[in-house]
Structure 1
């Protein structure tokens, strides 16, 4: 478990053992079962894709079989990513034996045990070593189909359902396909899934791929529900690798860091090219984007700081006085930098703070009246 490094596999942090108990410490997650009723079909679709990626990684790259894929072995991280856990029965293909399967049979999820194992048959051939995971996944995917039905993409759902039942739940283990065959399934061509997957892999994309993606993604983001963008995409969109990309900073970040005044749902009905189209209204921006901005202000990178300062006047009024008080010393660091552009932008930002924090805090309390008010009073 320590050596498995994949964004969709539960991250191991520590192992603790005392005389009575053993503890495995992982990243903070919650069981999928406790959240499934609260997730949208689009989020479930993206989560399912993450599970497929993790299992393809285990089977194809690690020659490892999970042996217990089911709803209780899938978890959800704080950023919405689904994580494959329940790794206690995981073994390398070469280490799985009939004896091991028989010994653990009563401990694993019974509904996902393959027909051949139920019949006491075991074939050690590496060609079909993935077949137990394929069947278990088929049972898990079938369980999720009822949650995917509201997608409205009838043809995509029907095709996916057919593949699951005819291929992954096939009683013949030799006919069950490998997981990588599902990665290009039409079900996962949804804008949200494709955007999320690109952002997760942005570090390995070519400059041309990133240019094409960032030049078209803003309109796609605008078509998604505000809450989906806020809860699932704000964090990856404000990652270091996105903020360092010039195309992203010019074509995407202005729409994200410019909140829309008004209540949820008050955005313009249509995305208008060559204009700023705020992706989030102020209430949602305050809740989901402001905390991310606060964290990014701790980063000592001139380019990233200037990206935040470029839009500072658009969102600073959404920060609480407490947040601004904590942020202020970080902001002032820009005045001591040798980059003149950064200094100039910082001075503009400091000016924006005066009406929000007061001149005594921003400039200092020792001020005197130097200018007099010469405007005639109207009687």
Structure 2
């Protein structure tokens, strides 16, 4: 194998060894559904440096019949490096030799099998997803044709890929060229592409690929976009008659599953006259405009398009607009494509959480709801990283939402995160001037107390709880006592002896009846925390006065507690053996 001429970035460490090239990625399984559909072999892969999932496009000119395609592979690499857009296949890195090209991209899969997988979905769900995909490809083509002043030249189903979020990404840059480029391969090698004539526009079939220089940069791509729409909605149908001379316009009977609103624009994309053909840009504008006449607005009314638009502008939207979008998401969460919800909607909402504001309290429950479908190994990077940052937020609505829903994600927190990132911010809630925040803070402790270190649970936390026992709010005093009862067994031996009896005795003297009951129940719950001598000399004497409490609810509970502790003493006394036995004569 030839020595490297080009490494994709300075960060890539590639070595040439006796066995050949050591690549910056590990190749996984070959994507069988893509085999033979282009000049590339597609693999699932893993980056060596961080273990992230990627896709690898491999071209090997040493394989039989591949040498002819080498200029196309090199052009694809060159263009993919420089043409960057959210709707274009994301280039990560590359390794190139004189005969081999490896292109690393974001993890994707081919479009064709993804369309087949949705055959079982409802007609509306399929239409929503397909139109959303066509919308993204239209945006990518408009960018290439208008902003880059170039022709893609290879728009077909095998040039479109699906990201983990279900978004369509345009690839297939083998012949992407600008008329100003003297080395443009489109005009000299367009016909070399596999099945080039099948997808070629009428002017190409008539005058060859060089004739494209005489027309707008988007003419051929617009025609190919029309064929892509046909395949997306009618994958089992042959290409429409308009793809062959004399290129008759599509008949209404050939519409198949193409939406009625899209069909007029679809026919204009397939116009055999390039000067009259609808461009990708105008197709996009017509589909986005809601008042451009009959058939317009088919993109604007698409549910997924609207959700994406709302998410993209979420941080600058008004509170009313945010509320409207969140309501739509909440109502349609169950019917959204799972990958779209998990990898498109969820990261955007989680990121928006960091800005706080009035909408944060509404976003958080939705984030946790959508997060139920996220794989455990990805939960931390997709959701937890954003939630943890929120604990530093001064916004009370956000903090309250975090505490209210802590039970939904507390099991995803590790000890290091709780000690170093959660607790330093959580403890400020004990001193908050708003009672509901203080109470929610107290309630939250039991959910993460098993992740506290010894210093926090035996020192810092107990100081705060001592203060909470004197809180003006009766419910906070009551919940603090309940919390101490639950924490009791996890406290250190000396801490138990020092803290528990005084804390529960204090609760028994509280003016709030339910706090007194909580004190008795906490004593019962922690009975195993007390030595037998402590039961006789401290516990029973300090709770005996509750037997005559003015409230029957407290008296009843006090007698139950007394019976429990007396039984403990009786059981122990029965095991005692006196050293001196008096004999009777």
Range of TM-score over shorter length = 0.7 to 0.9
Q: Max radius of gyration: which structure?
A: 2
Q: CA deviation at 1:377?
A: 1.6
Aligned to 1:376: 559
Q: What does 1:267-278 align with in structure 2 at a 5 Å threshold?
A: none
Question: Which whole-Å deviations, capped at 9, do the CAs of 1:45-99 have from their partners, x for residues lacking one?
Answer: 2222111111111111111211101111111222222111111211124338997
Q: Which runs of 5+ in 2 are unaligned?
A: 1-79, 119-124, 236-255, 289-295, 459-490, 505-522, 524-542, 544-557, 564-585
Aligned to 1:264: none
Q: Residue 286 of structure 1 contacts residue 318 of structure 1 at CA under 8 Å; is this kept in 2?
A: no
* TM superposition score normalised by structure 1: 0.75
- Change in 2 beyond 3 A, CA 1:306/1:65: farther
> Which of residues 323, 332, 351 in structure 1 aligns to 2:423?
332
- Change in 2 beyond 3 A, CA 1:55/1:96: farther
> Which of residues 54, 67, 71 in structure 1 aligns to 2:157?
71
Q: CA deviation at 1:135?
A: 0.8
- Change in 2 beyond 3 A, CA 1:89/1:288: same
- Change in 2 beyond 3 A, CA 1:98/1:323: closer
Aligned to 2:83: 4
Is 1:310–2:418 an aligned residue pair?
no
> Distance between the aligned counterparts of 1:176 and 1:108, measured in 2?
25
Q: How many residues align?
A: 344
Aligned to 1:61: 147
Q: Residue 152 of structure 2 contacts residue 177 of structure 2 at CA under 8 Å; is this kept in 1?
A: yes
Is 1:179–2:266 an aligned residue pair?
no
SS of alignment partner, residue 259 of structure 2: helix
Aligned to 1:161: 263
- Name which of structure 1's ranges 212-221 and 287-296 shifts more when overlaid on structure 2: 287-296
Q: Which runs of 5+ in 1 are unaligned?
A: 148-153, 260-279
Q: CA deviation at 1:214?
A: 1.0
Aligned to 1:226: 334
Q: Residue 357 of structure 2 contacts residue 398 of structure 2 at CA under 8 Å; is this kept in 1?
A: no
Q: Residue 309 of structure 1 contacts residue 346 of structure 1 at CA under 8 Å; is this kept in 2?
A: no
SS of alignment partner, residue 228 of structure 2: helix
Please provide the CA RMSD for this pair: 4.0
Q: CA deviation at 1:310?
A: 2.7
Aligned to 2:222: 134
Q: CA deviation at 1:190?
A: 2.1
Is 1:294–2:381 an aligned residue pair?
no
> Distance between the aligned counterparts of 1:326 and 1:20, measured in 2?
49
Question: Which whole-Å deviations, capped at 9, do the CAs of 1:3-30 have from their partners, x for residues lacking one?
Answer: 3231111121212124652211112222
Q: CA deviation at 1:142?
A: 1.0
Q: CA deviation at 1:286?
A: 9.0
Q: CA deviation at 1:172?
A: 0.9
- Change in 2 beyond 3 A, CA 1:43/1:310: farther
> Distance between the aligned counterparts of 1:303 and 1:186, measured in 2?
40
- Change in 2 beyond 3 A, CA 1:303/1:179: farther
Q: Residue 13 of structure 1 contacts residue 25 of structure 1 at CA under 8 Å; is this kept in 2?
A: yes
- Change in 2 beyond 3 A, CA 1:302/1:200: same
> Distance between the aligned counterparts of 2:161 and 2:394, measured in 1?
32
Q: Which has the higher contact order (CA 8 A, sep 6+)?
A: 1
> Which of residues 194, 214, 230 in structure 2 aligns to 1:125?
214
Question: Which whole-Å deviations, capped at 9, do the CAs of 1:112-171 have from their partners, x for residues lacking one?
Answer: 211211223414235x22111001111001111248xxxxxx99911202311x211111
- Name which of structure 1's ranges 166-175 and 94-103 shifts more when overlaid on structure 2: 94-103
Aligned to 1:363: 457
- Change in 2 beyond 3 A, CA 1:135/1:286: closer
Q: Residue 30 of structure 1 contacts residue 76 of structure 1 at CA under 8 Å; is this kept in 2?
A: yes
Q: CA deviation at 1:305?
A: 8.8
SS of alignment partner, residue 186 of structure 1: coil
Is 1:217–2:325 an aligned residue pair?
yes
Aligned to 1:114: 201
